[in-house]
Amino acid sequence: MVFLKQDIDYSQYMALLTVAECLLITSLREGMNLTSHEFICCQDGKYSQNKYAPLVLSEFTGSASVLDSQALLVNPWDYSQCADAIRSALEMSPEDRKRRWHDMYSAIMHYNASHWYESYMTSLEDAWRENSLRDSASVPRLSFPNVKGKYETANKRLIIVDCEGTLAAWGSPVDTVLTTPKRAVDILNDLIEDRRNVVYVMSQRMPEELERLFRHVPGLGLIAENGAFVQEAGGDEWIELIDMEHTESWKDGVRTILKYYQERIEGSRIEELNSALIFRYDGAEDISTAFKQAGECANHINDACETQHVAALPIEHGLYVSNADVNKSSATSMIGDNLVQQHVEKGVSLPDFLMVIGDSREDEYVFNWAHKMEKKGIKNVITVTVGQRNTEASATLTQGITGVLSMLEKLARLPQQKSS
C-alpha cells in the first residue's frame, strides 16, 4: 500500500481509478461523493484490462442512497465491518463484479445533474403548494356548536387526543414520579363512560410510563412512543408496531453521533426509549446556538441513516430519532383497520364521528390519516391543532390545554348512553 499525502494531477487521479482493484470511501459525513461516480465510469474496461472493480462506500454519504445495495455499504466507525467489506470486494467473483458495476453505472447515468435539478424543482413546487394550503391564517377557529351538533347525532365515536402539550403539560422527563392532572383523568373517565365513545391517548412516552399516568382510567386506549406501541381500548396487552431487532441495529451508530453533539452543547442530554433516541437541549445555556447545532445533528443523522430508514425529527428543544416508517399514524391506521375488520366479521358499527386533537409535528401524520378516513366513509371528521401554526388540521384551538379540557368536559356532560 502506498499512502500519498499530496495533491496529484487529474490525469494521475483518473489513471489510479482506472487500474484500482477496489475503491474504499469511509466518509463520516458527506453529500454526493463524486469520486465514487468517477470510479464507476473509469471501470468500464476501455482503457485497462482491469474492470468492474467493487466499491466499498460509507453509508453516511448521499451516494449510498443512489448506489444502494450494489456498493458494499459500511459504517466507517465499525472497523471489523470495513475489513470484511474489503475482503469481500477483493474475493468477489467476476460475475458478481460485473452485475454490480452495470447496476451502479445505470444508476449514475440516470441520476445526473438534469435529473437532480428537475426533481428538486418539482419537490420545491410541491412543498410550496402544500405549505400554502396549510398556512395557519387559512385554518378556522374551532366552532364548539358545530362539534356539539355532530357529537350528539353520532352513534359511535372515536376520539384520539395527544397527551403532552394537549391534554396535559409536559412534566420533567427525568421525574421518577409521573402524574396526570385530576381534571384530565375525570374527563377521560366521563367520556369512556358513554358506550358510544372509544378514546385513545397518544404520547411520546414509553408504555410503562403511560400505564402509570393513566392507571385510573380503565378502558382507555394508549399509543406510546409516537406510534411504536399500542394498547387497544379495553385491552391490557401492548402491541409492537416496530421491528425491535432493526431498532437495536441502528441505535449504536446514532448514539455515537448524538454523543458527538452532546459534548459540544453544554446542558444537553440523550434519553433512550424502547424504539427511539431523544436528544434534548432544553438545559443548554445558549438555546439559539444549541438549536443550530441540533439542526446540523439532524441533517447528519438523516443523511447518514437514510438507507436504514431512520429519521431525526425536530421537537420542542430537541430531536426525536426513530424508524422513519413508524409514526403515530401507524398506530391509528392499525386501530382503524381493526374497526373495519370488526365491522366486516362481527357486524360492529363503524364510527360516524372521528375527532383528533394534537399540538405538534408528529400529530400531523394523524390529521392526514383522519382526513383519509373521511374519504373512506366516516361521516364527521374533526381535526384540531392547539395553537397557531401551519397544519393539516381542519381547525385551531388557541386556548391551549385549558381550551382542550374545557371542550372535552362540555362534550362529556352531554346526555350519555351508559354501558350496561
CB atoms within 10 A of CB 108: 18
pLDDT band at 171 (very low <50, low <70, confident <90, very high): low
Return the closest-CA partner of residue 310 out of 246, 356, 360, 215: 246
Largest Cα span, the chain: 85
Q: How many Cα neighbours within 13 Å face the side chain of 409?
A: 12
Weakest-pLDDT range from 50-59, 175-184, 400-409: 175-184
Q: What sign results for the dihedral spanned by CA atoms 88, 94, 99, 105? A: positive
**Using only C-alpha atoms, what is the Rg of the chain?**
26
Q: Is the pLDDT confidence value at 420 over 70? A: no
Q: What is the mean pLDDT of residues 394-401?
A: 89
Which pLDDT does position 177 carry in this prediction? 40
Is the pLDDT assigned to residue 308 strictly greater than 50?
yes
Helix (H, G, I), strand (E, B) or coil at 172: coil
| Grid cell digits, residue 385 | 391543532
- Tell me which DSSP letter residue 55 carries: E
Q: Which residues make up the CATH 3.30.70.1020 domain(s) of the chain?
A: 244-323
- Name which CATH class applies to 10-115: alpha beta
Residue 29 cell numbers, joined: 459525513
Query: Could you tell me which residue, 181 or 102, shows the higher pLDDT?
Result: 102
Pairing label, strands 157-162, 353-358 = parallel
User: What's residue 78's pLDDT?
Assistant: 86
**Which has more confidence, 28 or 97?**
97
Whether 218 shows a pLDDT value over 80: the answer reads yes
C-alpha 127/C-alpha 390 separation (Å) is: 12
- CATH 3.40.50.1000 residue ranges of the chain are 136-241+326-412
Q: What is the structure's pLDDT at 176?
A: 36
Specify the CATH architecture of the domain 136-241+326-412.
3-Layer(aba) Sandwich (3.40)
Strand order in the sheet with 197-202: 239-240, 229-231, 221-224, 197-202, 157-162, 353-358, 380-386, 395-397
May I ask the CATH architecture of the domain 244-323?
A: 2-Layer Sandwich (3.30)
- ∠ CA 369-412-181, nearest 5°, is 85
What does the pLDDT read at residue 170? 61
The confidence band for 49, taking pLDDT boundaries of 50, 70 and 90, is confident
What pLDDT score was predicted for residue 137? Answer: 56
DSSP string, 192-226: HHBTTEEEEEE-SS-HHHHHHHTTTSTT-EEEEGG
On whether the CB atoms of residues 273 and 242 are closer than 8 A, the answer is no
**Residue 175 pLDDT level (bands cut at 50, 70, 90):** very low
User: Could you tell me which residue, 135 or 256, shows the higher pLDDT?
Assistant: 256
Q: Is the dihedral of CA 136, 137, 141, 142 positive or negative?
A: negative
Provide the pLDDT for residue 348. Answer: 77
**H/E run at residue 25:** strand 23-25
Query: Which residue would you say has higher pLDDT here, 139 or 98?
Result: 98
Domain with CATH 3.40.50.2000 in the chain: 10-115
Cα(390)–Cα(279) distance, integer angstroms: 24
For the residues 27-55, what does the mean pLDDT come to?
88
Could you read off the pLDDT of 378-397 as tens digits, one per residue?
A: 899 999 999 877 788 999 98
Encode 187-197: b = buried (16+ Cβ within 10 Å), e = exposed. Answer: bbbbbbebebb
Question: Which residue's C-alpha cell is 421537537?
Answer: 315
**Beta-carbon count within 10 A of 412 CB:** 18
Q: How confident is the model at residue 56 (pLDDT cuts 50, 70, 90)?
A: very high
* Residue 225, CA atoms < 13 Å, CB-side half-sphere: 26
Is 361 or 35 the better-scoring residue by pLDDT?
35
Asked whether residue 230 carries a pLDDT value surpassing 90, the answer given is yes
Q: Which amino acid is at 142?
A: L
pLDDT at 180: 64
Q: Going by C-beta distance under 8 Å and a sequence separation of 6 or more, which residues neighbour residue 393?
A: 139, 356, 358, 364, 367, 383, 384, 385
pLDDT score for 2 = 73
Which whole-number Å values give the CA distances from 80 to 34, 59, 305, in the listed order? 26, 15, 19
How far apart (Å, rounded) are the C-alpha atoms in residues 66 and 334?
Answer: 32
- Tell me the per-residue pLDDT of 351-381, one tens digit each, with 9 for 90 and over: 999 999 998 888 999 999 999 988 887 899 9
Lowest pLDDT segment from 31-40, 85-94, 203-212, 339-348: 339-348
Task: Read off the pLDDT of residues 111-159 as tens digits, 9 standing for 90 and up.
Answer: 888 888 898 899 898 888 766 665 555 788 999 999 999 999 999 999 9
**One-letter amino acid for residue 13 of the chain:** Y
